[in-house]
């Protein structure tokens, strides 16, 4: 039965149109890592995701067996991956690519895909809790076949750290690093006592170096290169309620730091990527996923910047519930993929959305 009140009828039609739009824009979440599928694992944490030149998605995470504790507190953390060849609709079985004996743990996966060498670098932090507790070792493995097989671990601690840092709380930031226009590999090393430093390789991983000038304030950080070849680092800073950005125009010798009052944050890892696809190749379009809450780890959202991080859009909410670390990648079809921790670290889920969806109806 229809109402005889025309105003009420207009309101009903309007609300129905809103409901229809909401349903069309709903995101689908695919469980990639979940404790519900493995009762022997306490939690899967610390997501990392990249897209290879063949369009394959490589998703990595910590498999924390005995507890959800971090590296220093956990005698059994493995690194696991899953791959997808259909833009994240289906995933391979879990592949445990780093699995040390009990008492030795690996944590905080991050990846770079080398466009020239067609090679995946997967970095992680290692600790032997029985023989060398409190000493963090910095390692990586590589794959030349889309993540099917992996090299033996390569220890680069001596190249990207300093002897006096041996017992400092230092680690390679999880998520992903960056490859510049000139092919240089760049990544972030956090030292909570000495500041964050950028490390990199000019020869596709044959040798590695670390910049001398520390970035501060900065905990877990992400780096991208802008079109003018300046470096932009976006950093987690605990107990501030916001993010901080750092710009270097001389490859890390000097830094200009700016508090990002619009990028609120409770003290949590985030993801920063450059969108190089279609009409935006050679642009400074940046995408940023983070927790849009100053006090709790919930409400994961995406922002974009059309000017290399000078200004940021309002947040586009992805999930309103409990969430934490995230990692983004651009798919071969131009859509954006997001892997993030959901529901009190019980699972890591993957979702996709188009750039049009992200940039419209904010």
C-alpha–C-alpha distance, residues 217 and 203, integer Å: 30
pTM for the model: 0.92
The CATH fold assigned to 6-359 is Neuraminidase (2.120.10)
Residue-level pLDDT at 26 = 84
State the pLDDT at residue 5.
Answer: 52
Q: Cα 213 vs. chain centroid, distance in angstroms?
A: 24
Distant-in-sequence, close-in-space partners of 284: CB < 8 Å, separation ≥ 6: 226, 227, 274, 305, 306, 307, 308, 309
Enumerate the H helices of 29-186 as residue ranges. Answer: 157-160
pLDDT along the chain (362 residues), means of 10: 43 37 65 94 98 98 98 98 98 98 98 98 98 96 98 99 95 99 98 97 98 97 98 97 98 98 98 96 96 98 98 98 98 98 97 96 64
pLDDT at residue 347 in the model: 97
Query: Dmax of the chain from CA atoms?
Result: 82
Report CA-CA distances (Å) from 316 to 37, 215, 356. 30, 29, 12
Beta-sheet pairing, 231-235 with 242-248: antiparallel
In the chain the first and final C-alpha atoms are separated, in Å, by 36
């Amino acid at each position: 039965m229809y109402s005889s009140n025309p105003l009420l009828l207009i309101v009903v039609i309007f609300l129905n149109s809103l409901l229809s739009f909401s349903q069309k824009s709903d995101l689908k979440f695919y469980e990639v890592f979940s404790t519900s599928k493995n009762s022997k694992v306490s939690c899967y944490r610390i997501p990392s995701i990249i897209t290879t030149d063949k369009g394959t998605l490589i998703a990595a995470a910590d498999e924390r067996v005995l507890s959800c504790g971090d590296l220093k507190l956990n005698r059994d953390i493995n690194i696991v991956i899953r791959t997808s060849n259909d833009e994240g609709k289906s995933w391979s079985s879990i592949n445990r690519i780093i699995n040390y004996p009990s008492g030795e743990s690996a944590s905080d996966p991050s990846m770079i895909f080398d466009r020239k060498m067609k090679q995946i670098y997967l970095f992680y932090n290692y600790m032997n809790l029985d023989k060398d507790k409190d000493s963090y070792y910095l390692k990586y493995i590589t794959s030349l076949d889309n993540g099917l097989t992996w090299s033996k671990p390569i220890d680069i601690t001596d190249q990207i750290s300093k002897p006096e840092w041996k017992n400092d709380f230092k680690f390679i930031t999880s998520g992903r690093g960056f490859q510049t226009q000139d092919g240089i590999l760049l990544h972030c090393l956090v030292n909570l006592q000495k500041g964050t430093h950028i490390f990199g390789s000019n020869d596709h991983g044959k040798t590695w170096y670390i910049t001398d000038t520390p970035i501060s304030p900065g905990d877990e950080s992400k780096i991208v290169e802008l079109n003018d070849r300046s470096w932009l680092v976006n950093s987690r800073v605990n107990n501030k309620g916001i993010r901080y950005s750092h710009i270097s125009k001389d490859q890390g010798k000097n830094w200009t730091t700016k508090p990002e009052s619009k990028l609120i944050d409770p003290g949590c890892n985030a993801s920063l990527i450059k969108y190089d696809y279609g009409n935006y190749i050679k642009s400074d379009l940046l995408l940023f996923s983070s927790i849009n809450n100053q006090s709790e780890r919930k409400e994961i959202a995406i922002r974009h910047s059309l000017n290399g991080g000078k200004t940021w859009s309002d947040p586009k909410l992805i999930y309103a519930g409990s969430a934490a670390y995230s990692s983004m990648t651009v798919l071969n079809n131009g859509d954006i993929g997001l892997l993030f921790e959901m529901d009190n670290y019980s699972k890591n889920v993957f979702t996709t959305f188009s750039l049009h969806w992200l940039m419209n109806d904010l």
